[in-house]
Structure 1
Amino acid sequence: MTAPWLRDDNHLPEALRGLRLPLVGSPLFIISGPELVIAQCKAGIVGSFPALNAREAEGEPPLLEAWLTQITEALDRHNQANPDRPAAPFAVNQIVHRSNARLDRDLEICARHKVPIWITSLGARVEVNEAAHSCGGIVLHDIINNTFARKAIDKGADGLIAVAAGAGGHAGQQSPFALIREIRDWFDGPLLLSGAIATGQALLAARALGADFGYMGSPFIACAEANAQPGYKDMIVSSGAEDIVTSSLFTGVSGNYLKPSIAAAGLDADNLPSADASTMNFSSGSSKPKAWKEIWGAGQGIGAVRDLTDVPTLVARIEREYLTAGRGLSGEFAG
């Protein structure tokens, strides 16, 4: 296991220090649940899930409460049994879009459970950041350009997730080389990079660019702990970057999707119409209409995913690649 003290992370908030790898598992719609998050945290990286994934039937108590209790108790048991190898903290993703009718309720639940890391998306709002800070949490806000980055920090976010070209889901369009550099010109706080981070080499490159962490999603879809349909997992394994299509049709915001899943839905992936952001609506938990529930998102890094696996095996692979790549370059800068 990597010795975390060899990596200088003293400038980071306490919740982000001492991780096995500088890596955060991104929140995946439907796919990220307690099993995946617990496995990621036990493996030494930050695990996360969207609050909207925890959906209870009408009249039932909030499932988010049960999930947070399950995750917290499982990680506490792990830490008691492994004091020399504690679990990483977890994060909850809040969709801040005005159509999310659950937001206020979910903020209250997360504050009461003292969630350590809050990931916010689709809108920067002061009151959301204040809710996180009220319980000692930190806020990482995802952005696709420098303008949104400045707005997020001005409204009280503690850190940024730079979503660059090649990321899965609602992806940005800028090169990571440009996006990270522009942000680092004025911001020295926690900075994560999202966009085709699927190998240890890519993680090392993110660090070399100036990011503190990589933000990895798509490779976890093919893990046993992920709540993804078998066909989705198989498609991740069998596809590569050329199988990713960028379209705004499905949610109103530009996103990256698996071309074979679009074809399976009877659509021409090479001639998709566009849609605008006014069509986005999270009132039912997802911005994607049910008719397109099997249009599957993924990032351009999936060519590195060659097998169905589990979280410990995947994280171990990333660690080996990261260390090997770093050692391979170290001699070039010795002396």
Structure 2
Amino acid sequence: MQLNTITSLFKIHYPIVQGGMIWASGWKLASAVSNAGGLGLLGAGSMYPDVLREHIEKCKKATDKPFGVNVPMLYPNIEEIIEIIIEEGVKIVFTSAGNPKTWTTYLKDKGITVVHVVSSVKFAKKAEEAGVDAIVAEGFEAGGHNGRDETTTLTLIPMVTKAVKIPVIAAGGIATGSAMLAAMAIGASGVQLGSRFLASPEASSHINFKEKVVAASEGDTLLTLKELAPVRLLKNKFFEEVQALYQEGASVEALKTHLGRGRAKLGMFEGDLENGELEIGQVSGLIDDIKPVAEIIKDLIAEFKEAQHRITSIEL
């Protein structure tokens, strides 16, 4: 595959980035993606600082290829996490859920490539102004915490690429090579996949959750809890309890109390499919197997090339 701005920026073979998903993106997943030619990311959002350091060190031993760390800025211990990243010599950081101005200059002064995740044109412009090297534009289809505007990937990518000059990575609803081609056809320089990589042996999430993702079909996820932080969830007992609270006209405090602490860990890492929070994208309806990362990436590239050939044979 010919070099593009994303492969050049990260020094990787394919313009494929693995999402830094909480409770899934440990050193095994990140190193496997990097070894297969993409960019693996450690998900710092579900790691205490000492755990993150351990995963960085193990990832360095497992791959000699570039990898990065995804840092949601709303989490505690952010200063300690940033210093560990610098001390351990990580050269790529993806930031999200916060103001990119807070850490971008500091990280870039340390020689680190910085990418910020956005869900709107407004925040894409702010990220570019803050000096980031690239943007992940994440559509409404994506799993986990999401934008409030419900802008789909197919709409968001061309709007963002029109508004900024830096490279744009498309995220949300991408799990196949044809979707990757579509994202790049409308302006993206690369793609970020979360849900597809979660359904792999290397992801650290619980097998119960992986099997639930594989069993999911159209309409099995919904964006909810917008009053707290919008999140796309698989429907289960916890999800139905949240919907019942909405029907009762529950306050933000009541929603917050019911959510409590550790819901995502309970569902995604410990495998409680009834009481846990199960964060996954709409594209879970297209995922019907758990397979190794190397096979996922091999299939993506084959599908990409097949779709490319199919499109070029169409005459208008």
* TM-score, normalising length: structure 2: 0.86
1:133-212 mapped onto 2 (5 Å cutoff): 133-172=108-147, 173-212=150-189
SS state of the match for residue 240, structure 2? coil
SS state of the match for residue 223, structure 2? strand
Q: 1:116 aligns with which of 91, 94, 104?
A: 91
Taking structure 1 as reference, are residues 224 and 291 closer, same or farther at Cα in structure 2, changes over 3 Å only? closer
Q: CA separation in 2, counterparts of 1:23 and 1:240?
A: 25
Q: CA separation in 2, counterparts of 1:141 and 1:121?
A: 6
Q: Is 2:303 the counterpart of 1:321?
A: yes
> Could you say which residue in structure 2 is the equivalent of 1:80?
none
Q: CA separation in 1, counterparts of 2:315 and 2:109?
A: 44
> Could you say which residue in structure 1 is the equivalent of 2:240?
267
SS state of the match for residue 140, structure 2? coil
1:1-335 mapped onto 2 (5 Å cutoff): 4=1, 6-7=2-3, 9=4, 11-12=5-6, 14-19=8-13, 21-55=14-48, 62-76=50-64, 87=65, 89-97=66-74, 100-172=75-147, 173-248=150-225, 252-259=228-235, 262-263=236-237, 265=238, 267-268=240-241, 271=244, 273=246, 289-291=261-263, 293=266, 294-332=276-314
Aligned AA for 1:166? E
> Could you say which residue in structure 1 is the equivalent of 2:269?
none
SS state of the match for residue 45, structure 1? coil
* Structure 1, gaps ≥5 residues long: 57-61, 77-86, 281-286
Contact 2:142 2:281 in 1 (8 A): yes
Residues 279-334 of structure 1: CA deviation (Å, up to 9, x unaligned): 98xxxxxx972256321111011122111211111111111111110111123379
RMSD between aligned residues: 2.5
Taking structure 1 as reference, are residues 26 and 272 closer, same or farther at Cα in structure 2, changes over 3 Å only? farther
Q: CA separation in 2, counterparts of 1:221 and 1:272?
A: 30
Contact 1:115 1:135 in 2 (8 A): no
Using the TM superposition, give the Cα deviation of residue 127 of structure 1 relative to its aligned residue in structure 2, in angstroms. Answer: 4.1
Moved more, 201-210 or 308-317: 308-317
Aligned AA for 1:253? A
Using the TM superposition, give the Cα deviation of residue 131 of structure 1 relative to its aligned residue in structure 2, in angstroms. Answer: 2.9
Contact 1:197 1:203 in 2 (8 A): yes
* TM-score, normalising length: structure 1: 0.81
Using the TM superposition, give the Cα deviation of residue 18 of structure 1 relative to its aligned residue in structure 2, in angstroms. Answer: 4.5
Q: How many percent of aligned residue pairs carry the same amino acid?
A: 24
Contact 1:258 1:296 in 2 (8 A): yes
Q: CA separation in 2, counterparts of 1:256 and 1:32?
A: 18
Using the TM superposition, give the Cα deviation of residue 50 of structure 1 relative to its aligned residue in structure 2, in angstroms. Answer: 1.9
Q: CA separation in 2, counterparts of 1:299 and 1:151?
A: 26
From the two aligned structures, give the one with the greater helix fraction.
2
Q: CA separation in 1, counterparts of 2:310 and 2:62?
A: 37
* Structure 2, gaps ≥5 residues long: 267-275
Residues 49-81 of structure 1: CA deviation (Å, up to 9, x unaligned): 22233337xxxxx232222122122213xxxxx
Contact 1:115 1:137 in 2 (8 A): yes
Using the TM superposition, give the Cα deviation of residue 257 of structure 1 relative to its aligned residue in structure 2, in angstroms. Answer: 0.6
Q: CA separation in 1, counterparts of 2:112 and 2:8?
A: 10
Using the TM superposition, give the Cα deviation of residue 142 of structure 1 relative to its aligned residue in structure 2, in angstroms. Answer: 0.7
SS state of the match for residue 329, structure 1? helix
Contact 1:107 1:131 in 2 (8 A): no
Taking structure 1 as reference, are residues 35 and 29 closer, same or farther at Cα in structure 2, changes over 3 Å only? same
Residues 164-202 of structure 1: CA deviation (Å, up to 9, x unaligned): 121011123102233222222231212111111011111
SS state of the match for residue 267, structure 1? helix
Moved more, 128-137 or 162-171: 128-137
SS state of the match for residue 310, structure 2? helix
